[in-house]
Structure 1
Amino acid sequence: MLGAFASLLEDWLRVERHLPKRQRRTARRLFEGLQTEGYQGAYDGVQRFVRAWKAGKFGVALTQAFVPMSFLPGEACQFDWSHEHVELNGVMQVIKVAHFRLAFSRQMFVVAYPRETQEMVFDAHNRAFAFFGGVPQRMIYDNLKAVVETIFTGKERLFNRRFMVLANHYLFEPVACTPASGWEKGQIENQVGNVREWLFTPLARFASFDALNDWLATRCGELALRKHPVTPERNIADCFAQEQSFLRPVTAVFDGYVEHMLRVSSTCLAMLDRNRYSVPAGYAGRVVSLRSTASLALQL
């Protein structure tokens, strides 16, 4: 039944193998595409063709090879964001969750925010380092705007100036992954899916962000009782206890504000993030500096 559609399917596969993995169609999506072209056969035939083509039967061999990554205690921590659905004070909301994972022990930490902004990135790091009891040597990120301003060739990056103040304060080295190369921080990529299943399914219901984040911190400790994937004779909590002595102690908490230059209106109001703040009448018509923090956003 595939017959004349085989050449069309092979053309699609040949084009899409040059795309990032997340942009390639699965065999199911390719099957649906062929149906729109008039294909009336079964899905199994398309699935077998795609599997054989990717295995090299049709002259196209897989060219990528991977070496498992290993980390020393205190060497690295991976970071990522996810969006989740929760009910806060009776209202359904889509929130952002900051994920951290120590690469050696697999100890995780997650904290929720209303949005993904730079001041919330700063606050998340403060909370994570307090939870871990120290700071790793390296922090691994994708190329989020709060961290990376410009992507150059290879691993060269221009990091955000304010973010580098955070990195210099805690003395860790920021590392940005290659675009569309999720395997460079595969642990945190897997954690995002697991946390959605473990903590946000079924729907989480809390009165406030504070209550939600207190519960998330507690669950991070409880989930550490699972077996470590590399050394199953030990649990994650045991490996985390070993790793803590290799983390750099936190001597002072970073002041995670973001500064904005705003002009005060004639009605003595300064507008930031669709909120209007009153200022003394003497500042009307003048430019003022306003510092925003994650704690202010969580209270609004």
Structure 2
Amino acid sequence: MLCVETIGKIRRRGLRDGESISGLARSLQLSRNTVRKYLKDGVEPVYKRKPQAGPQLGPWCGRLDEWLRGDGLLPKARRRTARRLFECLQAEGYAGAYDSVQRHVRQWKIEAGRATSTKAFVPLFFASGDVAQFDWSYEHVVLGGTTTTIKLAHFRLAYSRQMFVVAYPREAQEMVLDAHNRAFAFFGGVPRKVIYDNLKTVVDAVFAGKERQFNRRFLALASHYLFEPVACTPASGWEKGQIENQVGNVREWLFTPTPRFADFAALNAWLATRCRELGARRHPTQDATIAEIFALEQPMLQPVSMPFDAYIEQPLRVSSTCLVSVDRNRYSVPAEWVGKVVSVRISAHGIKVVAGGELVARHERKFGRNQLICEPWHYLSILETKPGALRHGLPFTAWVLPPAVEAVRAHALKQLKGDRAFAELLLVARETGLGALDMACQLAQEQGHLNTSVVLNELRRLTSPPRASLMETPDALVLLLEPVANCARYDELRGVSHV
């Protein structure tokens, strides 16, 4: 098929200048039939792409088809994109171009009947510092040697495209609150609006149009950071299309293949680092990197004065075993609150128990089921009436004490009424601290006595307040003439002689 420029030459020289068909054929190195054809009807060329030979990709086509068939058996969310397949081929030695892989993947999907139709959308515009978008996704990682499904909170500034992601064990309201704290700290500010799906941890009720009843605790977060929450129209994900695309991109860039980490802390540290590194990519609509545009957007964000106290609160009654149940796990509370209602504040990483306006217990949050988290100090007051609990009480049998204290305990429990004597030591140590008790036990060991009375004596000696030193009298206050005892002076003052 001739190009448009050559066809134009044939028609100008033949029809306008009167050049013969044979002369045109010789000068343009074409057949006379071809020249005659274009002089007659001037057919406009129709271009068809010839099948590409793909010399670089050829040896890898079998491997690529094998991966595509294998990915076809996985859920859609876990299938690799053409870009990710290209990177996997590069890791095995492929030196060709990405375009060849992309064409092969597209053709394979068409032949397999998996090609999707393209929908039409309206382009959106967001001002600098105006809008961020939020969404959740689930991913698969290996944590501590075990394959785990995690929940990933996604944030994206709509103007600069700067993203932030953080992982949690589940999608709960306290996780949503904590994720906002982390995201705004990462961005160094707060946008004026944040766009959400109608997720239950944010929206309590959906009304007609854009009317929503937001969750009260979530509204407290929005009021603290001074941003306006905006909920999408149901089934209209295009209203926050950037974050929808980010979910797929992050899965491709960060979670394919499945990464491995020791725990959530290591995973989230790596995610924050990768979010900064991905800022080096080119901005899709501006001639700069995402990091450069983000640096321009940052001053437009509202400043963060202090983080929000990201917890949800539940009133719970303390059981007879000094426990409250949170998310199918049980946590201990001081024994004096048994049978009473306390306020339990649940955050993404901890449990706080507030009673009488004071913080009475604090625990690291555990995930899973049927775990018992006991603090032995919470049960010490029970030992006053039940010292035998030292022998078989779970909080005390699992209590890891310093070696010197453990030696005194083992010696005491072998003696008659030794459990009561050791309980007295612990009750005193509740005020003085375990460090002082450990020192007292070490001093008793040095003396060759593990008796609890010796330890108690050393403990009281260590913790007793120091004696006040004698005050030295200043020279100005020293008496020059010391008074002499003389009872007659009293009579002189009275003016009467006394016999």
TM-score by length of 1: 0.78
Work out which structure has the larger RCO, using CA pairs closer than 8 Å and 6 or more positions apart in sequence.
1
Partner of residue 234, structure 2: 179
1:258 matches 2:312: yes
1:167 equivalent to 2:222? Answer yes
Which 4+ residue blocks in structure 1 deviate beyond 3 angstroms?
A: none
Aligned counterparts of 2:236 and 2:125: Cα–Cα separation in 1 = 17
Q: Distance in 1 between matches of 2:304 and 2:248?
A: 30
Q: 2:121–2:238: 8 Å Cα contact kept in structure 1?
A: no
CA-based RMSD = 2.4
Which residue type is aligned with residue 341 of structure 2? V
Q: Does 1:106 align with 2:170?
A: no
Is it true that 1:270 corresponds to 2:363 in the alignment? no
Q: Distance in 2 between matches of 1:213 and 1:73?
A: 27
Q: CA deviation at 1:210?
A: 0.6
* Equivalent residue number for residue 193 of structure 2: 138
Give the superposition deviation at 1:153.
0.1
Q: Counterpart of 1:117 in structure 2: which amino acid?
A: A
What's the CA shift for 1:286? 1.8
User: Which residue number in structure 1 is paired with residue 294 of structure 2?
Assistant: 240
Q: Judging changes above 3 Å, is the alpha-carbon distance between structure 1 residues 276 and 249 closer, same or farther for their aligned structure 2 residues?
A: same
Structure 1 residue 257, shift from structure 2 partner: 0.9
| Corresponding position: 1:215 with 2:270 | yes
Q: By percentage of residues, which structure has more strand?
A: 1
In the alignment, the residues of structure 2 paired with residue 259 and residue 249 of structure 1 have an alpha-carbon distance, to the nearest angstrom, of 27
- Offset at residue 67 of structure 1 (A): 2.1
Rg (Cα) greater in structure: 2
Identical-pair percentage: 67
| Equivalent position to 1:85, from 140, 165, 190 | 140
1:282 aligned onto 2:336: yes
Distance in structure 1 (CA, Å) of the matches to 2:293 and 2:304: 20
> Can you list the C-alpha shifts for 1:77-97, whole angstroms capped at 9, x where unaligned?
000000000011111110000
Unmatched 5+ residue regions in structure 1? Answer: 1-43, 56-63
Instruction: Give the Cα–Cα distance (whole angstroms) in 2 for the partners of residues 246 and 268 of structure 1.
Output: 50
In 2, Cα distance between the equivalents of 1:227 and 1:76? 20
Q: Report how many residues are paired.
A: 246
Alpha-carbon offset, residue 215 of structure 1: 0.4
Report the secondary structure of 1:140's partner residue. Answer: strand
Cα deviation code 1:214-247 (max 9, x no counterpart): 000000000011010111x211011100100100
- Give the equivalent residue in structure 2 for 1:72: 127
Letter in 2 for 1:295: H
Q: Is the partner of 2:191 in helix, strand or coil? A: coil
Paired with 2:336 and 2:182, the residues of 1 have a C-alpha distance of 38
Question: Cα deviation per residue 1:191-228 (whole Å; 9 max; x = unaligned)?
Answer: 00000010011111000101000000000000011010
Q: Which amino acid aligns with 1:274?
A: R
Letter in 2 for 1:137: R
Per-residue CA shift, 1:33-56, capped at 9, x if unaligned?
Answer: xxxxxxxxxxx9xx7xxx9xx99x
Whole-angstrom distance in 1 between the partners of 2:268 and 2:120: 39
SS in 2 for 1:245: helix
Counterpart contact for 2:313–2:343, Cα < 8 Å:
yes
Structure 1 distance, partners of 2:193, 2:365, is 32
Q: Which whole-Å CA distance do the structure 2 matches of 1:220 and 1:75 have between them?
A: 20
C-alpha deviations, 1:177-204, integer Å up to 9, x for none? 0111110000000000000010011111
Question: CA, structure 1 residues 226+274, in 2 after alignment: closer, same or farther (shift >3 Å)?
Answer: same
- Deviation, 1:287, is 1.5
Consecutive unaligned residues of structure 2, counting only runs of 5 or more, are 1-109, 352-363, 367-499
